[in-house]
Structure 1
Amino acid sequence: MTDATTAPNRSCHQNPVPGLPLHDLAGFTHRWVDAEGIQLHAVESDRTAGPTVVLLAGFPQTWWAWRKAMPGLAERFHVIAIDLPGQGHSDRPQESYDTHTVASRVQAALTALNVPKYWLVAHDIGAWVAFSLALKYEERLHGVALLDAGIPGITLPDSIPTDPDRAWKTWHFAFHLVPELPETLLAGRERDYVDWFLKAKTLYPNTFDGAEIAHYAAALAAEGGLRASLAYYRDAAESARKNHDALGRGPLTVPVLGISGSHGSIPDMAASLSPWAENATGVVIPQAGHFIPDEQPEATVDALTAFIDHKRVG
């Protein structure tokens, strides 16, 4: 994290997690906005011209997952990265982590930031939220890009494979669902857990340095972060039910881009999404595992820029 420095709270709203170091990214400003009774942390580009691109991260990360891609995107777009409830410097409510409730809160934050319509880009659990948001607020979206994610009720397998060659990618879904046990085993060991995820699920284990691992571990350990992160998995069945209820009214009609890593968890995101989206296309990023924006940020920026440019022209 050599391009970051510890920064003071620069918003009129109070940082709800003051004990967690806050890092700056050149050309971006920290904000906290009200979102249906909680505060969400947003990192917004100082350049506000051009279409708005909203970024959501997944487990076990924060908005910082997009730090390598954000400057490149900001050359063309107005960029906003948001910490989901429970992530980073956002509030960690006690309940309501199903993705439709979280989607409503993300949309409320964007309304507070005066964003009328936008392109939504999301990875992992962020993609869970983004899919539900697209179902609820399709009229607010130009399009949505989803990166390497098994989405509850949509692309997430109904059963966890027991073949060791595949089980390492999904074993944690069942573990996170067990009441209390994960908290008992992981409290005080957040760094070891984060270290395993970031190294095992990248093509090249040295993608993340010690400072980055420490940053994400500290976010999990601070102010109920572990409880909140597990809550997304524990509310996944409710997320799946609400997704299917919404799809009963019809599939997504906005453009959808599925982005896979050549060595990621979902080999063909577009194929997995196409039954639920009328206009789904896909791209595979070479030399990337699960954490695509960290592993191949320039290729990620290029894929997103091409998608937005093509759909705007089309």
Structure 2
Amino acid sequence: MTDLPTSSRHVCESNPVRDLPLHDLAGFTHRWVDADGIRLHAIEGGQSTGPVVVLLAGFPQTWWAWREVMPSLAGRFHVIAIDLPGQGHSERPERSYDTHTVAAHVHAAVEALGVSTYWLVAHDIGAWVAFSLALRFESQLRGVALLDAGIPGITLPNAIPTDPDRAWKTWHFAFHLVPDLPETLLAGRERDYVGWFLKKKALSPDKFDDAELDHYAAAIAVDGGLHASLAYYRDAAESARKNHEALKGRHLTVPILGISSSHGSIPDMAASISPWADNATGAVVPDAGHFIPDEQPEAVATAIADFILNGD
């Protein structure tokens, strides 16, 4: 089982989610910053003078999804993993979770950490936010890597398939949209729900051990985390609308790397993004399902490093 070290010294007034155990990662420091009116959690380490890499995780995870990628990047880069609003040890605000609103908070957090330009790497819902962030703050990005994500209005299909061979990958989009019902049915069963995604969508159902399931379930169960997680789906139509509005008459020019996997949700991320981006390239990680950073961390770290070093 994966060892999940915790530290009480970081659990202080600045941490808005004090009922969730805080896991440490050797060589990295926890920080909380005011991100345009909400407190976001970041964990930072690596080379202070190196290119800055910002990492965003998706549903149903936290920054911990990057724990095996971060040390591999830390030898050459300044690495910052951020919990999105409503995720992990970040505040769960009662406000919009459309990805343009969330992107503004994330970018504010990066600036609060003293960073002006950076590389952005994001998975799943984190990639939703990253795409919108690129539309709003493109001039401050060096490049964006997007991992296996159906981005609202971009790579997300307009209709949920009903074919059983495909429907299991996207059925939850409609379920999460229903007001209140998911919260009612899932309260007290967060571990079962989180476990379904982590076991079903990974190539190997044994990839995530009990400690990891406990961690992610607790993050969703505590302090309104489930409601906040669902809010990203409930605001997805607004995210799509804002994405299309921002793309009127323009394309993204920042370099985009679309990272797919051999058994993921989006077979070719680069091809699906290329209609909206002038410089999109792709990579496919073998022997992985949807949770690519957990399943093949070294391959992901190598793809990210090559993307940055070839772009500098």
What pairs with 1:190-209 in structure 2 (closer than 5 Å)?
Answer: 190-209=190-209
Which letter maps to 1:106?
V
How do 1:23-42 residues align onto structure 2 when only pairs under 5 Å count? 23-42=23-42
Give 1:12 shift: 8.1
Task: Name whichever of 135-144 and 303-312 sits farther off.
Answer: 303-312
Q: Tell me the amino acid that sits aligned with residue 311 of structure 1.
A: G
Aligned twin of 1:88? 88
Give, in whole Å, the separation in 2 of the partners of 1:136 and 1:279: 17
1:249–1:114 CA distance, 2 compared to 1 (3 A): farther
- What do the CA deviations read for 1:147-181 (whole angstroms, capped 9, x no partner)? 00000000000000000000000000000000011
Tell me the distance in 2 between the aligned counterparts of 1:46 and 1:153. 35
Normalising by structure 2, we get a TM-score of 0.98
Q: Is residue 13–residue 31 contact of structure 1 (8 Å, CA) maintained in 2?
A: no
For the residues of structure 1 that align with 2:113 and 2:309, how far apart are their CA atoms?
24
Instruction: Indicate the residue corresponding to 1:265 in structure 2.
Output: 265
Match of 2:288 in 1: 288
Distance in 2 of aligned mates of 1:106 and 1:11: 22
CA contact (8 A) 2:177 2:230 kept: yes
Deviation at 1:47, TM superposition (A): 3.2
Q: Distance in 1 between matches of 2:201 and 2:10?
A: 34
**Alignment partners' CA distance in 2, 1:4 and 1:301:** 21
- The equivalent residue for 1:160 is 160
Identity of aligned residues (%): 75
- When residues 30 and 93 of structure 1 are mapped into structure 2, their CA distance, relative to the original with a 3 A threshold, is same
Structure 2 residue ranges without an equivalent (≥5): none
Which range is displaced more, 270-279 or 6-15?
6-15
Closer/same/farther in 2, CA of residues 75 and 158 from structure 1, 3 Å limit: same
Q: 2-side partners of 1:212 and 1:12: how far apart?
A: 23
Separation in 1, partners of 2:36, 2:166: 39
Match of 1:169 in 2: 169
Q: CA RMSD in A?
A: 1.2
- What is residue 141 of structure 1 aligned with on the other side? 141
Q: CA deviation at 1:11?
A: 8.4
Residue 46 of structure 1 and its aligned partner are, at CA, apart by: 4.9
How big is each residue's C-alpha offset from its partner over 1:82-135, in whole Å with a ceiling of 9 and x where there is no partner?
000000000000121000000000011011100010000000000000000000
What is the distance in 1 between the residues matched to 2:34 and 2:163? 45
The whole-number CA distance in structure 1 between the counterparts of 2:238 and 2:232 is 10
Deviations 1:277-310 (A, max 9, x none): 0000000000000000000000000111111111
Distance 1:231 1:63, change over 3 A: same
Question: 1:29 & 1:49 partners in 2: Cα distance?
Answer: 16
* Distance in 1 separating the partners of 2:12 and 2:176: 36
Are the counterparts in 2 of residues 148 and 265 from structure 1 also a CA contact under 8 Å?
yes
Deviation at 1:7, TM superposition (A): 1.1
For 2:307 and 2:3, how far apart are their aligned partners in 1?
Answer: 28
Cα shift readout 1:243-268 (whole Å, capped 9, x = no counterpart): 00100141100000000010000000
Contact 2:66 2:294 in 1 (8 A): yes
Partner of 1:222: 222
State the distance in 2 between where 1:2 and 1:197 align: 19
Contact 2:46 2:73 (C-alpha < 8 Å) held by counterparts? no
| TM-score calculated relative to the size of structure 1 | 0.97
8 Å Cα contact 2:201/2:290 also seen in 1: yes
2:150 pairs with 1:150: yes
1:243 aligns with 2:227: no
Distance in 2, matches of 1:2 and 1:287, equals 20
Could you tell which deviates more after superposition, 272-281 or 11-20? Answer: 11-20
Aligned partner of residue 34 in structure 1, secondary structure: strand
Q: Shift of the alpha carbon at 1:48? A: 1.4
Question: C-alpha distance in 2, partners of 1:10/1:251?
Answer: 42
